[in-house]
Amino acid sequence: MRKLLLAGAALTLTACGFGPESPRGFSLPEGNPEKGKVLFSEYRCIDCHLVEGVEVSDDHEYLLPNAVQLGGSSGRVTTYGELVTSVINPSHKLTRRYPVSITSENGESRMRNVNDVLTVADLIDIVAFLQPKYKVLPYRTSDYRLYELRIPEKKDD
């Protein structure tokens, strides 16, 4: 009986990720990164975000006191799905490293909602532009040498 209960619990836990709200099966066609770079500027993402490869004029005024850097190195992969979600639902997952200036008093993202103006094709191209900007750092081992088993030397009597 206990084995049956454990098997049922395991099945229930593994099935949670495959329900109707699961992202399983979500896939978008390949985008055009060059077009995405142009759209990044056209949609005024540059008003709040810095990204490698996008130049802004010296007199450009950001809408935030601290522009949010996109891309860079991390210890884990930034997935395509996370980038899509960040554009269409920016309050979904905010990291603690963001300054308070980019969130409202209730903790929501101040990023403007572009869902009514951004086409799916534009979203695909912007994400295709941003995805390669994220790099995964290889796991760094510690600088400590392996502990060696030290056997005390015998003293001659």
Residue 23 is assigned to a structural domain of this protein: no
Structural domain for 92, as ranges: 28-136
Residue 1 is assigned to a structural domain of this protein: no
Element (H, E) at 50: strand 49-51
pLDDT digits (tens, 9 = 90+) for 75-120: 777 788 888 888 998 877 765 555 556 677 777 777 888 999 999 9
pLDDT of residue 60: 78
Nearest residue to 125 via CA among 53, 37, 57: 37
Q: Which two tokens stand for residue 134?
A: 């994220």
Give the count of domains, the chain: 1
Residue 125 is assigned to a structural domain of this protein: yes
Residue 22 is assigned to a structural domain of this protein: no
Q: Is the pLDDT of residue 137 over 70?
A: yes
The CATH code of the domain that includes 93 is 1.10.760.10
- Could you tell me which residue, 43 or 57, shows the higher pLDDT? 43
Does the pTM of the predicted model rise above 0.75? no
- Could you tell me which residue, 61 or 97, shows the higher pLDDT? 61
Q: Where are the alpha helices (DSSP H) in 78-137?
A: 80-88, 120-130
Residue 112 is assigned to a structural domain of this protein: yes
Residue 9 is assigned to a structural domain of this protein: no
d(CA 122, CA 43): 10
Residue 145 is assigned to a structural domain of this protein: no
